[in-house]
Structure 1
Amino acid sequence: MFNPVRARCLQSLLACAMLLSSYAGAAEKLAHVTILATGGTIAGSGNSSTTTVGYTAATVGVDRLIAAVPELAKVADVKGEQVFQIASENMSNEHWLTLAKRVNTLLAQPDVDGIVITHGTDTLEETAYFLDLTVKSKKPVVLVGAMRPGTALSADGPINLYNAVLLAASQEAVGKGVLVALNDQIHAARDVTKTNTSTPDSFKTPELGLLGYIQGSKPYFYRQPTRKHTADSEFDVSKLSALPQVDIVYGYANVSPVALNALVAAGAKGIIHAGVGDGSLATSVKAGLVEARKKGVLIVRSSRVGQGIVARNGEANDDELDFVASDTLNPQKARILLMLALTKTNDSKQIQRIFYTY
């Protein structure tokens, strides 16, 4: 016999079950993001709430970083892993190789949708570009840091971390290479640089422009990288235990060849000349660079200016000298690309192709 009360109860139970199912489905749709912590100011602490310089970097572990931003649970299923705990001025080639291999291992897993790397800002742009050249996945990889320690008033680390996880969990970031997220902005690893010693808006992409913004818990892209990166890169570090020695020689008025000659004598396989202007070569160092090239050392002309193209055969006859022009890469990023290029070839023409490709 039909029982209307019982029927209504069954309908209510069915509605509740469907509601719970929808909640479960929504939870399952959250992207799985792994946070790899390396230290830096974002994990730093100061003596007081007004200490924004003179603090100690790399004192807070990844679990505390995650716990400090409970809102992360709304945008991703987050896991944390402490890879290093260092101030980023101590980042080394060995750290980069370890990090790249770990990122590639994680991204090869179906249950990892994106990676966030917390990092000190001093060398963040370098690590980002190294990973941009060595990560073998289109899944998002986002580097994030902070200009103020977590103990400071208006600390920027928590919101930066939230935005980075949000970005790494998004479909919009897929295939755009390694990204850098600070100050509500999205930058490409190749072009971003630190421009101020201490202010929260330090990270910028001069001239070429940032890629987009994060606003209202959503990433907005207006540009995308055009140079090859990540899954399309020719570089493979999976079997590398070391990188070739490449050093930077800085140009300035009355420059001495002493530093250049010392670096070559110490075994440099490549030299980045951070010249004045359009990568100009002072007479006092040109002879040393020419002699180093004759010994097999690769020479790349870059510029200390920080913006613009270093023109091939512009301030020096690169064809005659067998030098390489850095294009728009600043000296520290030119060093990274040359190190990786030297794992593939010693041919300067091929290395010039690489500099115009990445």
Structure 2
Amino acid sequence: MDTKKVNLKKGLEEDVFRTAGEVLQSGGTVAFPTETVYGLGADALNPSAVKKIFEAKGRPQDNPLIIHVADWEISPYAKEIPPKAQEMMKAFWPGPLTIILKKTEIVPLETSAGLDSVGIRMPSNEVARALIRALGHPIAAPSANISGRPSPTNYERCVEDLDGKVDMIIGDGSSIVGLESTIVDYSVSPPRLLRPGYITYEDLLGIDEEVVYEEAKTRVEEEEAPKAPGMKYRHYAPKAPMTIFRGETQKVENEILRQIDEMIKNGKTVGVFAPIERKSVYNGKNITFVSMGTQSDLGEVARNLFEGLRRFDDAQVDVILSEGFQEVGVSRAIMNRLKKAASFHIIEV
């Protein structure tokens, strides 16, 4: 497939969106920026178009997609919108919040992965909303990467993963959030937080104190159908196996240093993923150090997370040793992604 690639430099270029809209209307696929991560979009109401997303990504067919809207009228796609869900929309849309609702028949089962519910989000990114308007109705879009790999937060990573697999790629800088949207399920009672994100659990409780979050429920068993993206399969993962170390700072540093020496002695190339404040700790070791950002700014850590994981692939390290975080606020979302990237291999020290 010959992928049309456009990296926007002058804002919303009308001819680009005319072309992209035609691609989507004809059942094609377009990768595009959002404030969370880059998405791979197709007409959410066209079953054959939606299937092309799964094919391009190598995505399991039982992994549901989120539909992205550009305006507030979602009643054609949702059977009912509970009052608290409406309050969530008013508080956090447009933005990085997905709300799961009982779907109407207009949303194909291919989009919802056979479920009677669908996740809906209104992105704040202007390019994303312009693309949705160019199509004329919702776009179904997971992250624009090969399934299981770290999500792309810039144009270059989209091209790396999807060139030759999709019809068009639109670039427009780096994602400002860097983590996929928070997902809260209002198709059940009480509502459940299924995927933490930049909009935190604490933020949600400020609107609806009945929202429940159970960490053990964020990874479903093989025989179960996931209700939201990122719940069942290995996600966000670099090529090398990764271990997370969590605990008191000095103990974490000491254990990582010990493991570095042991890995190098065994002929392994080692990557270390940690806040920039820790770089001096690992100086002098023959490793690839990738900074998460400063530990005093979790928003920066979130923005850097996926690109940092991809840099270990660039360096072709054999193993990755990552520092972890306590899980509160945005760090809950950061750890959610890190744990899945590490296949839940965590060492408490």
Question: Is TM-score (shorter-chain normalized) higher than 0.5?
Answer: no
Kindly indicate whether structure 1 or structure 2 has the higher relative contact order, using CA contacts under 8 Å at least 6 residues apart.
Answer: 2
TM-score, scaled to structure 1: 0.30
Query: Which structure has the larger Rg?
Result: 1
Q: TM-score, normalised by structure 2?
A: 0.31
